[in-house]
Amino acid sequence: MKRLIMTKVLILTDIFGKSYFSKNLLTFNEYYILDPYEDEFILFEDEYEAYSKYIKLCGHDKYLQRAQELCLKEKIEVIIGFSIGGSIAWRLSGLNIPSLTKVISFYPSQIRNHLDVSPQVQVNIVFAKEEQSFDTKEIVKILGDKGIENLEISDFDHGFMNKKSKNFNEKAFEKYKKEILDDI
């Protein structure tokens, strides 16, 4: 039997959007899923096409603005973000959102461009074992020096929580799903 979590949760998807999001993660009483495409169902051939569409239709700042507005309107308490959603979650952790208590970010690759963020809430970040665009160990050190304690470099590749990703890993998905639910 699933335990129902009573916290208001916002899930920020990666560049693939809701059509690729695993509803198997959801055991929350009240949750919202925000994707970059305003609920439009889009299927992508590959990551390059998804990223191109993301930049064209939404982009980082617009996704951040939409997420912030939803957090304030719905009094979101916890944000869980994946890839670009994880990067947006990180940026939101530094903004004044009175109801927000925690941010959980999975492989937030754009975090490297926003190291100036000073989180106002508890932050948990799970990095992929390596990223093409930056050295995860270096970023973890920088964030650790800022006092962020819940930092982990996983044993898995970027996308391990996305069942449609070539890097999806069932073992990792189950492990982190349990950790999320136990932590909220």
Question: Which CATH number describes the domain made up of 5-183?
Answer: 3.40.50.1820
* Residue 42, pLDDT score: 82
Reported pTM: 0.90
* Residue 41, pLDDT score: 79
* Residue 56, pLDDT score: 92
Task: Label the pairing between strands 78-82 and 5-12.
Answer: parallel
Tell me how far the alpha carbon of residue 170 is from its chain's centroid: 18
Residue-wise DSSP of 73-110 = HHT--EEEEETHHHHHHHHHHTS--TT--EEEEES-GG
Alpha helices in the chain (DSSP H): 47-57, 60-74, 84-93, 136-145, 170-183
| Residue with tokens 């069942």, as numbered in its chain | 163
Distances (CA, A) of 66 to 5, 28, 36, 102: 24, 21, 9, 18
Summarize pLDDT for 35-74 with one digit per residue, the tens.
998 878 788 888 888 889 899 989 999 999 999 999 999 9
Instruction: Indicate the angle between helix axes 60-74 and 84-93, nearest 10 degrees.
Output: 60
Tell me how far the alpha carbon of residue 16 is from its chain's centroid: 13
Q: What does the alpha-carbon distance between residue 113 and residue 147 come to, in Å, rounded to a whole number?
A: 18
Q: What does each of the 184 residues of the chain score in pLDDT, given as a tens digit?
A: 444 457 899 999 998 887 655 565 565 667 889 999 887 878 888 888 888 989 998 999 999 999 999 999 999 999 999 999 999 999 999 999 999 999 999 999 999 999 999 999 999 999 999 999 999 999 999 999 988 989 999 999 999 888 778 898 989 988 988 888 777 7
* Residue 1, pLDDT score: 40
Per the CB < 8 A criterion, the answer to whether 82 and 161 are in contact is: yes
